[in-house]
Amino acid sequence: MDKTNRSGSDLKQKKFLLKQLVHRDFKSRYKRTFLGVLWSMLSPLCFFVTQAIVFSKLFGRGEYFLSYLIIGNIVLHYFSDATTNLMFSISANGGIISKINVDKRLFIYSRSISCLINFLLTMVIMFGVIAINGITFNVKFILLIFPIVCLYFLNMGVGYILSVLFVFFKDTQYIYSIFTRMLTYFSAIFYYVDSFPENIRHLFFYNPVYCYIYYFRTIIIDNMIPSMYVHFMCVAFPIAFLLIGKAIYGLNEKKFAYYF
């Protein structure tokens, strides 16, 4: 009974601490800003407007190009924003980690939840553009929960890896910044994959971000349910990265205290 009570008490404490950390992360993100949480919407919106002006003349031949563009921007922004924030999650709390024996994973969990909340807020913009573009909302939109959940866990897996690397190698932030910029051009944000030869198109699905962008576009623009292959890829990526990320984290967790 004592062990059961102790484990139950520890779980309650972790839940309470996680709730406080999420509140702290979300609040500190917009501390001393005039627009506050609206920045989470304005940032991707500015990128979207810029790309819409520049690329609509080049690639905007489709009827729903604006929807095509906003979906790519919102999904990519979520991945980039979440993984970048998770990269700093352990290091930013080094002062606490060096003084208090706390489950360090809570810092990763809190950042991931905070970024998910931001993503859900940006989806308001996405649905607004979709409505303006003339796309009718339908029951299939409920299926968007699937790629959102998968993308959340993918971000967690990548976040585990980045957070560990950043503790030991500060250059990680600069390397990853370059990587996310390159990812923009390999995720079919503002161009159509159909313009590529058929023997090359399937290579895009090896990019996990594109898989989720494709899933969103298929549901929203094409009003169709993606194939089982797409579902498999959407699930396989987060599982693989979570397994790798947790393994790397587990091997290095005890070393963190020596770097703070």
The tally of CA atoms less than 13 A away on the side-chain side of residue 231 is 9
Structure tokens at 147: 């790629």
DSSP state of 100: S
Burial of 140 (0-12, 13-18, 19+ CB in 10 A): middle
Model's pTM, two decimal places?
0.85
Integer Cα distance of 207 and 112 in angstroms: 21
DSSP state of 196: S
pLDDT value at residue 29: 63
Ranges of residues in the chain with a pLDDT under 70 are 1-11, 13-14, 16-17, 23-40, 56-61, 98, 259-260
The region that residue 137 occupies, defined by phi over 0 for left and psi between -120 and 50 for alpha, beta otherwise, is beta
pLDDT value at residue 3: 53
Task: Evaluate whether 18 touches 106 at the Cβ level (below 8 Å).
Answer: yes
Task: Evaluate whether 122 touches 41 at the Cβ level (below 8 Å).
Answer: yes
Q: What is the pLDDT of residues 146-200, one digit of tens each?
A: 999 999 999 999 999 999 999 999 999 999 999 999 998 899 988 899 888 888 9
Q: Which amino acid is at 16?
A: F
Structure tokens at 34: 């005039």
Task: Evaluate whether 217 touches 129 at the Cβ level (below 8 Å).
Answer: no
114 contact partners, CB below 8 Å, separation of at least 6: 22, 25, 26, 29, 85
Task: Evaluate whether 201 touches 116 at the Cβ level (below 8 Å).
Answer: no
